[in-house]
Every structure is written in C-alpha cells, then in structure tokens.
Structure 1
Amino acid sequence: MELEKIVEQHESQLQQQSKEIKQHSKEIARLSDMSVEIQKQMSEGLARVDESNRFLREQNTRQSEQNAQILQAVIKGNESSDEHQFQLKLLDKTNFWKLTIGIGGSAAAIFAALTEIIKLFFK
C-alpha cells in the first residue's frame, strides 16, 4: 500500500511538473514571439531613422550648396561694391584736379585779360 501511495505521489508530482513544463514552454513561446515582434519593430524603426537621416543629409547638402552660392554672391557683390567705390574715388580725384586746373586756368585768363585791359587804359 505504501508503495502505491509513493507511486501515486510520484505520478502526481510528475503530472504537476509536466503541467509546469507546459506552462513554461507556453511562456517561453510567448516571450519568443514578443522578442520577434520587438526585433521587427526595432528594425522598422531603424529603417525609418535611416531614411530620415538620408533625407536630412540630402537637405544638409542642398543647404550647404545654397549657402555656398549665397556666399559667392555676397563676395561678388562686395567686390563689385569695392570696385565701384574705387571708381568713385578715382572720379573724385580726377574731378578735383580738373576743377583745380580749370579754376587756375580761368584765374590766369582773367588776370591776363585784366592786365591787357589795364595796359590799354594806361597807355
């Protein structure tokens, strides 16, 4: 009798362990499915991040090209402005000397004319 009880207890324990093993197997399968789903989501997320990074790199490249074009236009404008300023200064100096020579020449002509007029009156 006692041996039967021991055998029954052993069988009961085996059945209980079998149930636990099945539950563990189900839990492991569930966790494995979750792991696969998480890996899938991470892969999709990384693919989106890669696509976003590619887009941002393209935008950055275009922005850099635009900035280079703007910089070249500003530099060209500055050079043009510098050239214009130089031409204005040159024109100012040229006009100054023309005016000085013109005034000097006019003064000399007036002086010569007055001296001739004075010579005529006092002769």
Structure 2
Amino acid sequence: MSSSTLSKRHRVGYALPPKKIQAFIQPSLIHHADQHNIDLIPIDPSKPLIEQGPLDCVIHKLYDPDWMSQLRHFSSLNSDALIIDPLDSIQGIHNRISMLQAVSNLKVSERKQVLDVPRQVFF
C-alpha cells in the first residue's frame, strides 16, 4: 500500500438527533476516529446536504421527509458514498405493522415460551 493510500482522510458526516449526538459523539470517539484518518463532520439538516460535502459516508438517524429527500439527492450524485442507514432498509422498520409482522411470522417450536406481538391501536 502506498503512503498516499495510508494517509487518505475519510470524511464521515453524521446527522443525529441532539440526544444521540450527546450520547455518542464523545471526545474519545472523535480522537479514535482521528487516529484512523477519519474526520467526523456534523451535518446541519436545515442546510442542503449536497453543499456540506464532500463526504465518504453519511450516518443518520433522521427520518423526516425533507431529510429523506436530501439524502436521496445526495446519494444519486455521490454513488460511492456509503449511507448508514440505507433508505431502502429502514422503510420497513418505520412501518410498525410491517416490522411486527416479521415477529408474528416466527414459528417458535418450544411451546413453553410465548412470543407474541401486542395489539396495535392507531388514533
């Protein structure tokens, strides 16, 4: 591996709710990332994502429609950038009915244990 490959910095943007930022983006994580040639870049979801790059990866836990649209647009223009959580993968999780359907479909062979999904009530 060449020395230029070893020294390449990777830009990882993160768009998280404030509580997750407080919990996860600690000085020790920033230091560890820096030691591994990773720059952690806070993303401002109120500004166009495409203008906050370049980014090699986007880690997000925001799901409002405007953000999702920004993320799709960014991804379409930056196909090499890794998106965590991928939009296609999270759609089923955000639909409580489809998420819980997977649990309902489980066949638990040991009858001593009960695995069931609570009734869902929507208002």
Taking structure 2 as the reference length, what is the TM-score of the superposition?
0.17
Taking structure 1 as the reference length, what is the TM-score of the superposition?
0.17
Which of structures 1 and 2 has the larger relative contact order (alpha carbons within 8 angstroms, sep 6+)? 2
Q: Which has the higher helix share?
A: 1
Max Rg structure: 1
